[in-house]
């Protein structure tokens, strides 16, 4: 009976010079970006919940109003309030998104380019 040879496998370097090690900074930056966008998503969900609660409340207030002029006044105040809320929320979301991108780029830069020690500092 013929003896089968065991297959020979090429050794793979899993150290610092491995091809996948180059992806580590990108993965870390992607994780940071994902965390930031999760914060943006949570902020949007909270804002939506708040808006829904306020919509229900203004609907009830208008339904309880005793005159057309009172209902119009309530609606006008509500419209001014929601416009201010939307502008404020848009600013907050833009800030969160910008910080998220900048944080991920900072993480990417720090992990892909470790700090260089200068010869003068070593002396």
In order along its 123 residues, the chain shows pLDDT tens digits of 556 565 565 555 555 555 666 677 778 888 888 888 899 899 999 999 999 999 999 999 999 999 999 999 999 999 999 999 999 999 999 998 888 888 888 877 777 665 555 545 555
Helices 24-64, 68-112: inter-axial angle, 10-degree rounding = 170
Domain ranges within the chain, ordered by starting residue: 26-113
What does the pLDDT read at residue 100?
86
C-alpha closest to that of 46 among 38, 56, 36: 38
Q: Show the tokens assigned to 117.
A: 């020690």
What does the pLDDT read at residue 70?
94
Alpha helices for the chain (secondary structure H): 24-64, 68-112, 119-122
The set of residues, in sequence order, having a beta carbon less than 8 Å from that of 100 and lying 6+ positions away, is 32, 33, 35, 36, 37, 39, 40
CB contact at 8 A, 2 and 81:
no
What does the pLDDT read at residue 105?
82
What does the pLDDT read at residue 71?
94
CB atoms within 10 A of CB 114: 7
Cα–Cα distance measured from residue 63 to residue 57, given in angstroms and rounded to the nearest whole number:
10
Burial of 94 (0-12, 13-18, 19+ CB in 10 A): exposed
């Amino acid at each position: 009976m013929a003896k089968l040879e065991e297959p020979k496998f090429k050794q793979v370097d899993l150290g610092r010079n491995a091809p996948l090690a180059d992806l580590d900074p990108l993965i870390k930056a992607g994780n940071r970006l994902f965390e930031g966008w999760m914060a943006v998503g949570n902020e949007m969900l909270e804002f939506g919940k708040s808006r829904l609660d306020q919509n229900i409340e203004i609907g009830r207030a208008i339904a309880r109003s005793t005159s057309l002029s009172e209902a119009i006044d309530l609606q006008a105040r509500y419209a001014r309030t929601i416009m201010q809320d939307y502008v404020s929320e848009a600013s907050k979301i833009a800030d969160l998104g910008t910080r998220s991108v900048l944080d991920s780029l900072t993480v990417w830069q720090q992990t892909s380019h470790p700090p260089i020690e200068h010869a003068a500092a070593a002396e």
